[in-house]
Structure 1
Amino acid sequence: MKKILSFAALIVLFNSCQHATENNGDMNLSALNKLKAGNERFAEDSPVHPDETLKRKQELKKEQHPFAVVVSCSDSRVPPELIFDQGLGDLFIIRTAGNVIGTYEVGSIEYAVEHLHCKLVIVLGHQSCGAVKAFLESKGEKHQDHIQSIVDYIGSEQEVTSIVDSLKKNPLLAVKLNVKHGVKLLKNSTPVLKPLVDKAELNIIGAYYNLDNGKVSFEE
């Protein structure tokens, strides 16, 4: 009789744990899967806008624990928190035109990785990127302002310059190569990021946002 009761208790316990797991949802997803799930909600026009409550704001007064870093273009059409359907304190965002990455950006990422313990970095490009377009249409002419530094950054990428003539007919590929360059740069950045990548303690991947349908594809 005791064995029967014990077995029944185990069944109840298993069902309770399973139910709790189902209810907790995102808690059991990896950082990348949380981004994928959030983008799916956004693309399907059914976002839940998590972590925007007064309680969440109060929790974040003392400290933050973002689960991912997103290096994104400054383009107003590509706000990471919205396209990934995340809220306050969820993502550590670095935004520059053309998602270019320099010393300040690397330092910001290092801070998120070292001090906030982020284990995932996304370099996010997007359809119709103005910075990439400016490079492809530059024709060797120089801007008389600081925009030229962004054009120079993209123009210095071996991935881009080696096939620049072909890319003028395929700006989508140019955007993706710009992302690929950013991922490569970060994966080889010392002294902080490269050792962590080599030990599989940090994941750095590229992604592309489609303006037409709101979907993000990941280069895993």
Structure 2
Amino acid sequence: MPSSGLSPAQAFDTLLGGNQRFVRGVPLHPNQDAVRRSELTTGQMPFAVVLGCSDSRLAAEIIFDQGLGELFVVRTAGHVVGPAVLGSIEYGTNVLNCRLVIVLGHDSCGAVAAARAAVAGQPPAPGYVRDIVERVTPSVLAAQAAGLHSDSDMIDTHIRHTVDLLLDRSRVLAEQVAENHVGVVGLAYHLAEGKARLVTSRGLPEAATGDPLTPAAI
């Protein structure tokens, strides 16, 4: 499968530009017509993988103003990581040649709130929801150990931990980042403003992650 032709930094700039249009209320809604639909029947060349929370308010193609065939999206509650998620991301970078991986968290995340409640001693979540809560709990404990207790700090810590986990668990992705073939970026989305804020990045030049995303940590 050929590459989209974008470098990791160019892919990041493309997403940034789309989010800025969304925030200003002037989205282009590109590549969403019948012609584009027909073009994609023989294959796809997305330029970025997005691992995002399943929250219904976090539709990646909308908040980044992208169209059909441009983003390879993986979503789980709390953007938790398991074998299927890792395999999907590796498919995106190794087979589809996506040059950028985004971990997309957001404020008022139910999974993080549930993990905080569990740490505080509330009754455990039922069924498989408990598995999600248990995967988020280490992030909550790490934030608290560092003296961080606000919702924003908890979200940022969980995003950083997810980025670290991807690179720790996936040798394929870690090697691609080390070779400057792929960049990995963690973003926190603010529901009220519609803005994606930089939390952390790996494998991108610092210039590519400067303002106006106001980086919290690089």
Q: Which structure is larger by alpha-carbon Rg, 1 or 2?
A: 1
Using the TM superposition, give the Cα deviation of residue 200 of structure 1 relative to its aligned residue in structure 2, in angstroms.
Answer: 1.3
Match status 1:142 vs 2:124: yes
Quote the residue 1:15 is aligned against.
none
Match status 1:185 vs 2:155: no
Quote the residue 1:16 is aligned against.
none
8 Å contact from structure 1 (residues 186, 204) kept in 2: no
> Aligned letter for 1:79?
A
CA RMSD in angstroms, aligned pairs only: 1.7
8 Å contact from structure 2 (residues 167, 174) kept in 1: yes
Using the TM superposition, give the Cα deviation of residue 175 of structure 1 relative to its aligned residue in structure 2, in angstroms.
Answer: 0.8
Unaligned runs of 5+ in 2: 1-5, 202-218
Q: Deviations over 1:159-187 (max 9, x none)?
A: x31343755x4111111111101111112
Distance in 2, matches of 1:162 and 1:189, equals 19
Distance in 1, matches of 2:24 and 2:100, equals 24
Quote the residue 1:212 is aligned against.
192
> Aligned letter for 2:134?
D
Distance in 1, matches of 2:101 and 2:182, equals 8
Unaligned runs of 5+ in 1: 1-26
Q: Across the two proteins, how many residue pairs are aligned to each other?
A: 191
> Aligned letter for 2:151?
P
Identity value in percent: 40
8 Å contact from structure 2 (residues 142, 157) kept in 1: no
State TM-score, norm by structure 2: 0.83
Q: How is 1:95-106 mapped onto 2 (pairs within 5 angstroms)? A: 95-106=75-86
Distance in 2, matches of 1:72 and 1:96, equals 7
8 Å contact from structure 1 (residues 71, 121) kept in 2: yes
Using the TM superposition, give the Cα deviation of residue 38 of structure 1 relative to its aligned residue in structure 2, in angstroms.
Answer: 0.2
Which of 144, 154, 160 is equivalent to 2:136?
154
State TM-score, norm by structure 1: 0.82
8 Å contact from structure 1 (residues 208, 217) kept in 2: yes
Match status 1:79 vs 2:59: yes
8 Å contact from structure 2 (residues 143, 153) kept in 1: no
Which of 25, 43, 52 is equivalent to 2:23?
43
Distance in 2, matches of 1:67 and 1:100, equals 22
Quote the residue 2:206 is aligned against.
none
Q: Deviations over 1:117-172 (max 9, x none)?
A: 00100001001101000111123332221110011001134xx31343755x4111
Runs of 4+ more than 6 Å apart:
none
